[in-house]
Structure 1
Amino acid sequence: MHDPKPFGLNELREMFLSFFESKGHLRLPSFSLIPQNDASLLLINSGMAPMKPWFTGEQEPPRHRVCTCQKCIRTGDIENIGKTARHGTYFEMLGNFSFGDYFKKDAIHWGWEFLTSPEWVGLDPDRLYPSVFEGNETTPADDEAFRIWNEEIGIPADRIFKFGKADNFWEHGSGPCGPCSEIYYDRGPEWGCGKPGCTVGCDCDRYIEVWNIVFSQFDNDGEGHYTELKQKNIDTGMGLERLACVCQKVPSLFDVDTVMNITHKVSEITGAHYGETPAKDVSLRVITDHIRSATFMICDGVLPSNEGRGYVLRRLLRRAARHGKLLGVNEPFLYKVCDTVIHENEGHYPELRERQDYITKVIRVEEENFAKTIDGGLKIFNEMLKGHQEKREKTFSGADAFKLYDTYGFPIDLTLEMVEEQGMTLDQDAFHQLMEEQRQRARKAREALGDLGWAGVEFGKDVPETQFVGYGCDTVLDAKVVAIVAEGQQRDEIIGGGEAIVVLDKTPFYAEMGGQVADHGVIACESGRGMLFEVHDVQKNKGGKYMHYGRLMEGTLKVGDTVRAQIDLDRRRAVMRAHSATHLLDKALRAVLGDHVHQAGSLVEADRLRFDFTHFSAMTAEELAKVSAMVNEAVLAGYDIVTEELPIEQAKQKGAIALFGEKYGDVVRVVDMGQGYSVEFCGGTHLDNTAKVGVFHISSEFSVASGVRRIEATTGMASLEVMNRNQELLFQAAAALKAKPGELREKAEAAMGEIRQLHQAVEKFKAREAVSEAERFLFAAHEVGGLKVLTATVPDADADRLRKMGDFLKDKEPNVVAVLAAINGEKITFLAACGKEAVQKGVKAGEIVKQVSAIAGGSGGGKPDSAMGGGKDPLMVDNALAMVDNVVSMKLGL
């Protein structure tokens, strides 16, 4: 037996991809960690996951032989990360794939060649043990794979292991599935458990799986019936870090060269090193693993948030930050490790270096935000923990955990981890019960808001689904009344004067959807009855009925009437201006800030829009200016806007942007501005040319949630109103300063300079006046035990004036004890000042002001030489000041 060659991780990755390129495979770059068009996955967790449509035959692959090194994230065992040497969240999966091309023979031969050939990895063949599926009552044994290993590769039968479905059969519910063939490497008895009979399949570290070939040859109907697939596929998976462990003869992925270099950087920052204590080893592994994961996730567009993959990222960063605190690092530090992560991986993932500034900034912002949460939460947690421990309790209450989460924003997973570190358990059932009660309260609160109780009306099957014809019809339309609701009940007719809902068989009115507000307008009847129904809102219910909310102003309206529906065309056009501008804004934000920007909500009104988007920090003035300029340039370019309905796959090929989490049908509506400039899925109403947007003006940009920003903007007439109002204010300001508009800045700066000078002069005068007044107070001081005690009321003085007087008195007279009071309406301010000699004798300003303030119904405190307090009862101020002598005497023991 010979030892493996000590190949580096990066060397092994390139070696694998080059080998399979030599076998006719197309080398593809790693897919993003964010699944595309696959709502079943939060993050990519295997090499084949991004290729599901190629395996099922839904899509044609770029080539029928493909090889990749896929970035993967698995977080099912996140609590064990750091505690064991095996668990990790981020890893790379090497894979070669066949989509209806080669099958078992080539897959097995090539796997063996790559692992054993001296030209490639060169592992000792005598240390390798294959396994095959042994079969069961529903699925036959994989005799073909056994024969290939035995007769063609030359592995003796007693070295080919047969395992059951749990180990050697891959399936996930119904659909394509098949047997597996794995290859195990014997690391030697020194890695084993020492138990008699230790062999392949033992849980110890001696026999490690380095290769897994899935032969996708069956279709499972979900009821245990397996039929042969027409297109048989190969899905080979090999953990890159695991192969590196074998080649480098190290115990775990944390000891592999590129990963250990990251740990070295963490040690440099924290001062902690492997082997010092088990606790430090755990923290070093947690930080190393989590910063690797976070760096790649952010690079692929994931941002910290409180749900979905954003929460996974936030949890990893917060867990790593807390372990930094356990190592004594109390300031943000994870962002400093990014450069090392990038340096170790940029050869294969150059996008890491390209996005380094962005990645670093996201991590630093999240660290700083979490520091504010964890510092306060840790203090409260420790107080709660102490209470449990004093009672000798072994269970941390769910109520305390809920309070930490609900009141202080402390993550439950961190509470759970810290409780376990103390040898206690957390009452998770009680915590989840309190969470559910909170959800119920929130639900009831929402229900209490109500909406006249009409939205829940269930129409019968005789009321047809409304046909929306508003895209091409923007004036008037004849329609039939099919249902009326008033006071929560369906009616056959209504008489003028009341609120109601009217349902038509077809309508030009756009119902509120996708962030776009509903159309307004009127429904009229020309049958001589003079009926007029004013529409102020339109909602679409689950049954596809468009409910026109409004008031019947005059006449009578009956089910079956033929009416004329007419939208407010000016308002519709204003809404379309804002909606089309929203698409241009989305495009501009991606161009200026990066591809991580995703729409997180919107509201489109008449010439006004609100756009929420994912971003980690406030936009700079320069960024806002670039975005505004880019939108207005697109407006001036006069791009044609084309809307068309397309099969969803064709729309995606066209580059249409979809909202993550939204459900789309087989046919979607696509809005294309400028023949590809902006292409998005959208069901709203739009202009036919960007020039009709008019002027686009950003009015504000601010945060609405962690990792989510909001831009508010105007278009069309609203922008013109803002411009006109600003111009009017400009002329008014210029007139007030007796300047021309072009001279306004210079005049304003000059005026501000004069104001600052006058303010400084006034402050100097106030300071001299305060000192002069304080000197007069000294003449009225009287002696108590060798100290000069004085009290006085200073009318209309603010806190700053009192402080100046107090500072002067204690500096002027080391043995002074002064208490000053100011009354401003109902507000009372007290200041106590004690000179150096008074403090040395035990008379302290903080104690004096506390007692004095209490008499006036308030409180106070501060330092021994200077302290402030407040009161609520002006009538008690004299009594409070009269107590000063007694307080000083008691302190001196007189």
Structure 2
Amino acid sequence: METAEIRRRWLSYFGSHGHTIVPSAPLVHDDPNLLFVNAGMVPFKPYFLGQETPQFSRATSVQKCVRTLDIEEVGKTTRHGTFFQMNGNFSFGDYFKEGAIQLAWELITRSQSEGGLGFDEKDLYASVYHEDDEAIALWKKVAGLSDDRIVRLGRKDNYWNMGVAGPGGPCSEILLDRGPQFGADGDWEAGDRYLEFWNLVFMQYELENVRSKEDFDIVGDLPKRNIDTGMGLERVAFLLQGVDNIYETDEVFPVIAAAEDLSGLRYGADHEDDVRFRVVADHVRSSLMLIGDGVTPGNEGRGYVLRRLLRRAVRSMRLLGVDAPTLEQLLPVSMERMKASYPELETDFSRISQVAYAEEEAFRRTLSSGTTILDTAVARAKSSGATTLGGAEAFALHDTYGFPIDLTLEMAAEQGLQVDEPGFRRLMGEQRDRAKADARSKKSAHGDTSVYRQLSDTLGRDVEFTGYDQTLTDTRIRGLIRDGVVVDRVGPGDEIEVVLDRTPLYAESGGQQADHGRIRLANGALIEVTDVQRPITGLVVHRATVLEGEAGVGADAEAEVDVARRRSISRAHTATHMVHQALRDELGDTATQAGSENSPGRLRFDFKSLQAVPAAAMGEIEGRINAVLLDDLPVTADIMNIDAAKKLGAMALFGEKYGERVRVVSIGEWSRELCVGTHTPRVGQIGVVKLLGESSIGSGVRRVEALVGADAYSHLAREATIVSQLTDTLGVRRDELPDRIAAILARLRDAEKEIAAVRQSQVLGAATGLVQSARDIAGVTFVSHDAGDGVTGDDLRKLVTDVRGRLGNDRPVLVSMASVAGGRPVVIVATNERAREAGLKAGAFVKLAAQALGGGGGGKDDLAQGGGSDPTRVSAALGAVEDHLRNRGA
């Protein structure tokens, strides 16, 4: 049964049992604790936490997920993968344990002809939390399981919590006995014999003081008992498809097969190669799905994860002996397999592939530059008499340049040096610990909503925001949090969260960054505020540091906004409204906002558009914005009911939730939007807006970035200086500069073409002589040639295929040539059809040659390429090909 069919049956089954079918959320989800959705229940977390009320009592989904904590382990075992799909069914105060068990058992045991999954009941077991007698009784009642097919396990295996204070409860797993060939009877811990594929979480308790997965306090029952289940789609797919692991399923293995064709190697022949094949298959699919959901490669956060995945895939193909670009052959294969479940991948494949192929090309350049940096480090180590390359240098290559450690190890070894791998691992561990600590701190702040609810209840009303009219407000400290705990007093150096009864500081919202400022107390205490957030509705929390003195709950205080920062952000926010309106004027009403960020002196505005905005249109948009600035229109804010706002034509912003009463911000009669942010009184105070450009960030979503005010002026001044320098250097007027530069570039391109043509003609000119030099070895027409320095792999490939073609197909032909380009040797072997019929495969010969060069290679039976690190071994490499040919005929 194909994976897409399992997915379809799941949704159909639960849909027919009263569950609302919820589409998969994008992998990039609005959760401050997560880079990506990593579990099927993530989109439903606000319901389980009591932060939102669900519109349904039952739901089902097949959720796209990505987990990257074990990225280094992918491929080494068949258990680790980054992208996976989690089938889930959820109950919010509706059915509980008995209903969940009944639904699960019916679907998995119903015959496939009747729409079920068709598992044999005699092979199924259940694990339960060792104290959950109710679940044991239900497994006996519903499924008829005997005691020997129900195993009791502890908190480690069969108790679920979120890792922070909140809901939790015992869980029960459905296991499949795969047979004695996978392990001993009753060996529940091994994980191969009794494979868990469905987890039913019985969410019924309120947990606090969650110290670890197994160490927490149960403080009471939840007001409503919930069900959260998860069935791993890939895991069920390999069980039903009769293969050994997720890499051999119908959605993954075709990429491995394509990699086999490109490399000339076979999956299953060698463990190290198998690891590389699995890395390629997993990472290509994960990259496809991430780019499809709008992620682009970068150096931070989500973009960095995507970059690592793509580069590990490219690197693994290189280790399989393929130096040429490969994503163009691999990515479409993955798309073809995944489009049955996610048809948008095919629709958007042009953009997805453009992003992926550009990153592959960039990494190939990184490999080139990284090799130069590594060679310099090796030379420096050798000159000092060292035999080891430092861990810090290896870490810098990895962290700064994206140069993989395994490549550093390989290339250093080729030059006779070891690498301080323990030092490298230590630095990597320190970096990982910092990332985990940061993630834990964010998780704690997000998850411990009970602390905020406690303070909100004490306050008795919403915190009043005075910042529209004031930047300095008399107030009172109503709550203090230190290290996640409510306290009465704080002192110098404490990092705290402060709740005031009223505040002029704006909490981050609607794309506008938070205000900074200070809180002063009558006793001389001074608190510096560096962030303001709304962790729950109605509560404003100031994240701050006590600079001087002591502060206590109930103390009168004075809260002051950093006015310079506020004005800079307000200019950016007002400019964002102007960019939005100007885009709609130019592109039409479909150019609606899809997100924004307003920070001091700059803005980022995301909008919906299926096509790039032409440069001429961007010029018109920028001109229209700055023309309105000259008109110095007033910026006003009015509170009205939502229906009145709609009648005025006010636009609602992406991701915002509105009540009956809304705030409408107007720029004259030109623009109206619903907005709670701060703005300039008149647009003329913005000064100038400079658009930096626009780009794609996802399917149908574009991004404009701009500078505002003094930042825009400084940017324009720098550009003017650069233009002046260019005009002086080239001796032309400013208006002549584009034509002059275009002419210079045209001449350079023409010169490069002429040089390439001359070089190619020289290389190909040798073909006639090489044909004449052909020898007979063991009944094979054989040509061997050292093309020398400066001949690229592309030119050498053309020469090899030209000579092979001239020698015809009357008898077996084998052509072997090598050259050195950029200090690194390359070898290419080609065979004709008659030679392949005789069992002569180019890939086998090129591997022998590449080994002599200290490297590797591979390819197809008719044409294969390899390389290495020792250019002095070219003759030995060509000799290895000839010796192997002679030995075959002996």
Same fold (TM over 0.5): yes
Show the 5 A alignment for 1:795-834. none
Cα offset, 1:386, TM superposition: 9.6
Q: Give the AA of the match of 1:292.
A: R
- Would you say the 8 A contact 1:177–1:218 is kept in 2? yes
Q: Which residue of 379, 388, 392 corresponds with 1:399? A: 392
TM-score (norm 1): 0.56
Aligned position for 1:146 = 136
Aligned position for 2:202 = 215
Aligned position for 1:29 = 23
Bigger radius of gyration among the two? 1
Report the Cα distance in structure 1 between the residues aligned to 2:592 and 2:321, rounded to whole angstroms.
Answer: 36
Cα offset, 1:238, TM superposition: 0.4
SS at match of 2:394: helix
Report the Cα distance in structure 2 between the residues aligned to 1:327 and 1:646, rounded to whole angstroms.
Answer: 65
Cα offset, 1:596, TM superposition: 12
Cα offset, 1:264, TM superposition: 2.5
- Would you say the 8 A contact 2:514–2:531 is kept in 1? no
Report the Cα distance in structure 1 between the residues aligned to 2:186 and 2:307, rounded to whole angstroms.
Answer: 41
Cα offset, 1:247, TM superposition: 0.5
- Would you say the 8 A contact 1:127–1:185 is kept in 2? yes
Report the Cα distance in structure 1 between the residues aligned to 2:8 and 2:225, rounded to whole angstroms.
Answer: 27
Q: Give the 3 Å change call, closer, same or farther, for CA 14–432 of structure 1 in structure 2.
A: closer
Cα offset, 1:268, TM superposition: 3.7
Q: Give the AA of the match of 2:292.
A: C
Report the Cα distance in structure 1 between the residues aligned to 2:124 and 2:670, rounded to whole angstroms.
Answer: 54
Q: Give the AA of the match of 2:46.
A: P
Is 1:129 aligned with 2:141?
no
Report the Cα distance in structure 2 between the residues aligned to 1:602 and 1:240, rounded to whole angstroms.
Answer: 42
Q: Give the 3 Å change call, closer, same or farther, for CA 430–698 of structure 1 in structure 2.
A: same
Q: Which residue of 134, 144, 156 corresponds with 1:166? A: 156
- Would you say the 8 A contact 1:184–1:207 is kept in 2? yes
Q: Give the 3 Å change call, closer, same or farther, for CA 409–346 of structure 1 in structure 2.
A: closer
- Would you say the 8 A contact 1:628–1:696 is kept in 2? no
SS at match of 2:173: strand
Aligned position for 2:217 = 224
Query: How many percent identity over aligned positions?
Result: 37
Cα offset, 1:379, TM superposition: 5.0
Aligned position for 1:373 = 366
Q: Give the AA of the match of 2:29.
A: P
Q: Which residue of 142, 147, 150 corresponds with 1:157? A: 147
Report the Cα distance in structure 2 between the residues aligned to 1:41 and 1:102, rounded to whole angstroms.
Answer: 29
SS at match of 1:225: strand
More relative contact order, 1 or 2 (CA 8 Å, 6+ apart): 2
The runs of 5 or more residues in structure 1 that have no matched partner are 1-6, 136-141, 440-466, 480-505, 519-538, 546-566, 605-609, 730-743, 761-861, 863-894
Cα offset, 1:124, TM superposition: 0.7
Report the Cα distance in structure 1 between the residues aligned to 2:638 and 2:378, rounded to whole angstroms.
Answer: 62
Show the 5 A alignment for 1:414-429. 425-428=421-424
Cα offset, 1:331, TM superposition: 3.9
Cα offset, 1:115, TM superposition: 0.3
Show the 5 A alignment for 1:412-491. 425-428=421-424, 431=427, 471-472=468-469
Q: Give the AA of the match of 1:211.
A: W
Is 1:15 aligned with 2:9?
yes
Post-superposition CA distance 1:384-412 (Å, at most 9, x none)? 67999999999763232244257756366
Please identify, of 216-225 and 176-185, the stretch whose mean Cα deviation from structure 2 is larger.
Answer: 216-225
Q: Give the AA of the match of 1:685.
A: H
Show the 5 A alignment for 1:552-591. 579-585=573-579
Cα offset, 1:253, TM superposition: 0.4
Show the 5 A alignment for 1:669-684. 683-684=677-678
Report the Cα distance in structure 2 between the residues aligned to 1:293 and 1:399, rounded to whole angstroms.
Answer: 30
Q: Give the 3 Å change call, closer, same or farther, for CA 262–147 of structure 1 in structure 2.
A: same
- Would you say the 8 A contact 2:199–2:230 is kept in 1? yes
Show the 5 A alignment for 1:501-512. none
Q: Give the AA of the match of 1:205.
A: D
- Would you say the 8 A contact 1:394–1:425 is kept in 2? no
SS at match of 1:274: coil
Q: Give the AA of the match of 2:32.
A: A
Aligned position for 1:188 = 179
Report the Cα distance in structure 2 between the residues aligned to 1:164 and 1:46, rounded to whole angstroms.
Answer: 22
Report the Cα distance in structure 1 between the residues aligned to 2:195 and 2:505, rounded to whole angstroms.
Answer: 65
- Would you say the 8 A contact 1:300–1:596 is kept in 2? no
Post-superposition CA distance 1:533-579 (Å, at most 9, x none)? xxxxxx9888999xxxxxxxxxxxxxxxxxxxxx99xx999997764
Is 1:318 aligned with 2:311?
yes
Cα offset, 1:235, TM superposition: 0.6
Report the Cα distance in structure 1 between the residues aligned to 2:337 and 2:425, rounded to whole angstroms.
Answer: 43
Report the Cα distance in structure 2 between the residues aligned to 1:644 and 1:76, rounded to whole angstroms.
Answer: 48
SS at match of 1:304: coil
Post-superposition CA distance 1:829-883 (Å, at most 9, x none)? xxxxxxxxxxxxxxxxxxxxxxxxxxxxxxxxx9xxxxxxxxxxxxxxxxxxxxx
Q: Give the 3 Å change call, closer, same or farther, for CA 80–417 of structure 1 in structure 2.
A: farther
SS at match of 2:88: strand
Post-superposition CA distance 1:258-305 (Å, at most 9, x none)? 211232233344444313432222111111101111111122222222
- Would you say the 8 A contact 1:656–1:670 is kept in 2? no
Q: Give the 3 Å change call, closer, same or farther, for CA 232–435 of structure 1 in structure 2.
A: closer
- Would you say the 8 A contact 1:107–1:234 is kept in 2? yes
Q: Give the AA of the match of 1:192.
A: F
Q: Give the 3 Å change call, closer, same or farther, for CA 39–579 of structure 1 in structure 2.
A: closer
Q: Give the 3 Å change call, closer, same or farther, for CA 292–435 of structure 1 in structure 2.
A: closer
- Would you say the 8 A contact 2:613–2:694 is kept in 1? no
- Would you say the 8 A contact 1:130–1:161 is kept in 2? yes
SS at match of 2:29: coil
Q: Give the 3 Å change call, closer, same or farther, for CA 426–415 of structure 1 in structure 2.
A: farther
Q: Give the AA of the match of 2:317.
A: G
Report the Cα distance in structure 1 between the residues aligned to 2:289 and 2:322, rounded to whole angstroms.
Answer: 24
The runs of 5 or more residues in structure 2 that have no matched partner are 210-215, 436-463, 475-501, 516-527, 533-541, 544-562, 646-650, 724-733, 748-821, 823-890
Post-superposition CA distance 1:341-384 (Å, at most 9, x none)? 22222232232223222211221222222222222224544776
Q: Give the AA of the match of 1:186.
A: D
Report the Cα distance in structure 1 between the residues aligned to 2:504 and 2:11, rounded to whole angstroms.
Answer: 57
Report the Cα distance in structure 2 between the residues aligned to 1:323 and 1:131, rounded to whole angstroms.
Answer: 39
Q: Give the AA of the match of 2:207.
A: N
Cα offset, 1:52, TM superposition: 0.8
Report the Cα distance in structure 1 between the residues aligned to 2:221 and 2:380, rounded to whole angstroms.
Answer: 63
Report the Cα distance in structure 2 between the residues aligned to 1:22 and 1:620, rounded to whole angstroms.
Answer: 40
- Would you say the 8 A contact 1:658–1:681 is kept in 2? no
Is 1:55 aligned with 2:51?
no
Q: Give the AA of the match of 2:147.
A: A
Aligned position for 1:337 = 330
Report the Cα distance in structure 2 between the residues aligned to 1:695 and 1:208, rounded to whole angstroms.
Answer: 65
SS at match of 1:184: strand
- Cα RMSD of the aligned pairs, angstroms, is 6.0
Show the 5 A alignment for 1:381-396. 381=374
- Would you say the 8 A contact 1:253–1:259 is kept in 2? yes
Q: Give the AA of the match of 2:8.
A: E
Show the 5 A alignment for 1:426-825. 426-428=422-424, 431=427, 471-472=468-469, 579-585=573-579, 602-604=599-601, 610-611=602-603, 622-629=613-620, 643=637, 656-657=653-654, 683-686=677-680, 698=690, 700-701=692-693, 711-712=705-706
Post-superposition CA distance 1:580-615 (Å, at most 9, x none)? 2334436888989999986567443xxxxx445799
Q: Give the 3 Å change call, closer, same or farther, for CA 167–369 of structure 1 in structure 2.
A: same
Q: Give the 3 Å change call, closer, same or farther, for CA 602–336 of structure 1 in structure 2.
A: farther
Aligned position for 1:176 = 167
Report the Cα distance in structure 2 between the residues aligned to 1:355 and 1:611, rounded to whole angstroms.
Answer: 27
